[in-house]
Amino acid sequence: MSSFPDRRRLKTTPRARALAAPLFDLALSAMWRILHPDERTPFVESPRPPAVRRLYYTASDGWSAPLRVLEPRPGGAGEPVILAHSLGLSAESYRYGQHTLAQTLQRAGFRVYVFAHRGDRDSIAPDGPTNFDVDDIVARDVEAALQAVREDSGYRRAFWLGHGLGGQLGVILAATGGDTDVAGLVCLNTAVRFVTPTSEVRRLLQASRWLPRGWVLPGRVAALAAPLVADGPVLERFSGQGTDGACVRGVLRHAAGNVPVSLLQQVSRWVDAGVLSDRTGHVDYLHALGRTCAPLLVVHSAGDDLCRPAQARPLLAAWGASDTQELALPEAYGHDDVLFGRTAEADVHAPIADWLHARRKHAWRDA
């Protein structure tokens, strides 16, 4: 695989973007200091994640997107793990911060591939119609990404680890027979059953129904909210109080993702029906998991308003393979705290690395 030019950014040169980014960061930091003059903590916990090798895949309908590749520690075997992000976050959500899940897996000797799909800002659209939904991402992008990872890593199978929507992509892949290419599935706060959401989420989903299907809510807008986030009630609305304010502000600045309206509309239909279904609403993916053969780890937390334990646990009962495990987190963990929380490295990242380590053989060619 080779690097492709990003046709969506031809109007600005790399030099112009390199100059604009620090100026924008400086303006946001100044705004935060003005709004919170008594704060002594830094504006953001960490700078933008450093550049890494990008492996581009091309889907069968012409869409292209990059996989960010983090090489294993020296001496590591390099079994591949694909990390898929949640709706509203970008691929950088796995790499932002001082103690990241991607780094933990690197240190454990895995080769990490951070997945981006056609709904992300750095994807490359083909000529012609570009409407898509979750079913398209699974059938085309996920399939192409798995093939690219197999060729790049030399392993027959890759582990799939998804947060929120990223986990739902893995579930749908398994339900449609694609788990034969997966060494194991890890779902972080992944709902497969749905209940009435909080009022803010409900209003957002209702509003999405009136928006044109092809619209995209840009992730860059989230950066403008970063100066509003300080300790106290405002921070509590962004986090389950498990993540520091400087980290939340950094996530909004460097790890927020585009939200395609078409995906919001599909999530809205899931919530209305209460089930994880295909685009027609006729296929409940949970009912198609009886023949799955890959190991499964389900991580959930009682403090997650977007995915209560009762919304994640049905996946364990529906899963066909006998190798299933559950990691229940304390109520202090909100939806995104599994990635950014103060104690996430010990409570979440390390147990995931241990679970994957015990199943490395599933990625080998002779598994």
The secondary structure element, H or E, covering residue 177 is none
Which of 86-90, 199-203, 230-234 bottoms out in mean pLDDT, i.e. has the lowest? 230-234
- Read off the pTM: 0.92
Distance, CA of 124 to chain centre = 19
% of the chain with per-residue pLDDT over 70: 90
Residue 104's nearest CA partner among 123, 76, 130 is 76
| Domain range summary for the chain, segments of one domain joined by + | 7-363
Residue 312's nearest CA partner among 320, 321, 302 is 302
Query: Mean pLDDT over residues 54-64, rounded?
Result: 96
pLDDT per residue over 296-332, tens digit each? 999 999 999 899 999 999 999 999 999 999 999 998 8
Query: Mean pLDDT over residues 34-58, rounded?
Result: 89
pLDDT per residue over 123-162, tens digit each? 999 987 778 999 999 999 999 999 999 999 999 999 999 9
Length of the chain: 367
> 298 — phi, psi (to 5°)?
-110, 120
Which fold, 7-363? Rossmann fold (3.40.50)
Query: Mean pLDDT over residues 343-348, rounded?
Result: 96
203 versus 76: the higher-pLDDT residue is 76
What gap in Å lies between CA 242 and CA 258, rounded to an integer? 24
Query: Mean pLDDT over residues 274-296, rounded?
Result: 95
